[in-house]
Amino acid sequence: MSNHEEITAPSTQEDIEAADKLKNEANEYFKKQNYDKAIELYSQAIEKNPNSAVLYANRSIANLRLENFGYALGDASKAIALDKGYTKAYYRRAAAHMSLGKYKLALTDFEYVTTVRPYDQDAKLKYSECNKIVKKIAFEKAISVDKKEVNIADSINLDSMTIEDEYEGPMLEDGKVTLNFVKELMEYYKQQKKLHKKYAYKILLDVKTYLQNQPSLVDIKVPDDKKFTMCGDIHGQFYDLMNIFKLNGLPSDENPYLFNGDFVDRGSFSVECIFTLFSYKLLYPDHFYMSRGNHETLDMNRVYGFRGEVTSKYTSQMADLFTEVYNWLPLAHCINGRVLVMHGGLFSKDDVTLEDIKNVDRNKQPPEDGIMCELLWSDPQPMQGRSQSKRGVGCQFGPDVTHNFLQRNKLDYIIRSHEVKNDGYEVAHDGKCITVFSAPNYCDTMGNLGAFITMNGKDLVPHFTTYEAVPHPDVKPMAYANSIFNFLCQ
């Protein structure tokens, strides 16, 4: 259903009653976290009664839950056009703006609510919190040097950090990650304990040094008789990450892995996930690969909990260092010259080549358009051609776009992640566009399976393994997010 219905003549009483019935049914699906079905029913209700602000606002929050920020924004704006005094619609629109990193626009919406409801304490709190974020970002920009952030890595003095006698956790050996260290680290994390900050900083500095020398598109060679594994989004679900290793074996030179972005945010064990993955990257640099996702970015980390988690478990300085490290993550990987793997998807232009991807200057926050943005944000669609992104960033691309891109670059198919799928994966575009998502029961609410893909180097035929979520300690998703984001985005 389109998210851009025009306001039409008033509906009949019969239509209004039918719309109410559909809305109530949609609300029940929403409560069960079946947001796709809820959106479908809200859309049917809107067809019956296109002048109801409530229906648009309800569809807006369902789209927010699915991270369809572009659609959520459009629906909230439509609700406001229909009812200027409908404060809930302003909250929805502010949430969509913040999810897209447009904090000043969000602030304008919160400000409006405080004007029309001067005694609403909740509105005042949200305005105040959003205002703090806007001021903090303005301050960060003011102190940046030549438009490049100050280099945090250069300011860290490892020698000044002492290991306390009472620390009983894993230790680097001669400053290096070893297999023994990683195994101890995973066990230590299962007990909800924290790696010493000196080792945490050392890992980050070493990973940054390594990644700086990598191209934006990394070529991976898989021998004919060897297995290769690809995982999608992990999103801070550490105990599910451990389950992947239990099902498929620990990473090693003989058991290589590629993790395809979105290691952090949402789930509240993101620190544990990223240090485990970065440790494996240092241990097996030529057999363990990591792509950047749209959540390895500053705006997403501000909203969805990672910055808050790092600051809570360590320091805000470390959170800044993570931003620096993420800027150097490769944007895509090409397996045996035949399979391209990226987090988001393909492009708004027809002529993009692998060479163009390789030449992207990636050491930055993603721009709002272009190759880097689309690699991190785009999504496939079933219909031909391209359309505006439901997320408000990147584009949506059809089977013909995929086919033409593969033909131009002499590739067999693409693998991407970025979207929750009920079965943990989806095969689209005549088998040429595969989605893999590895965070089961995403956000503890979606009920989806997780999946990973295995293949051998000879035929590169994808095989799918699916699994359910495993129990984890009682720390809710978004536990470390600013309260304003927690309310709006969970």
Residue-wise pLDDT for 21-52, tens only, equals: 999 999 999 998 889 999 999 999 999 999 99
**Which band of pLDDT confidence, cut at 50, 70 and 90, is reported for residue 145?**
low
Whether pLDDT at 181 is above 80: yes
- pLDDT value of residue 140: 76
Choose, from 97, 295, 333, 343, the residue flagged as catalytic: 295
Whether pLDDT at 144 is above 70: no
Segment among 107-121, 367-381, 454-468 with least mean pLDDT? 107-121
**Which band of pLDDT confidence, cut at 50, 70 and 90, is reported for residue 2?**
very low
Active-site residue 429, yes or no?
no
Strand order in the sheet with 413-416: 217-220, 332-335, 339-342, 413-416, 433-436, 425-428
**Which band of pLDDT confidence, cut at 50, 70 and 90, is reported for residue 8?**
low
pLDDT above 70 covers what percent of the chain?
Answer: 95
pLDDT above 90 covers what percent of the chain?
Answer: 84
- pLDDT value of residue 120: 86
pLDDT per residue over 58-114, tens digit each? 999 999 988 899 999 999 999 999 999 899 999 999 989 988 889 999 999 999 999
pLDDT per residue over 223-263, tens digit each? 999 999 999 999 999 999 999 999 999 999 999 999 999 99
Look at strands 433-436 and 425-428 and give their pairing.
antiparallel
* Structural domains for the chain: 13-143 (1.25.40.10), 154-489 (3.60.21.10)
**Which band of pLDDT confidence, cut at 50, 70 and 90, is reported for residue 138?**
confident
Model pTM? 0.93
Average pLDDT over every residue of 204-220: 98
Whether pLDDT at 1 is above 70: no
> What's the mean per-residue pLDDT of the chain?
93
pLDDT per residue over 318-365, tens digit each? 999 999 999 999 999 999 999 999 999 999 999 999 999 999 999 999
Whether pLDDT at 484 is above 90: no
| Residue, of 311 and 65, whose pLDDT is higher | 311
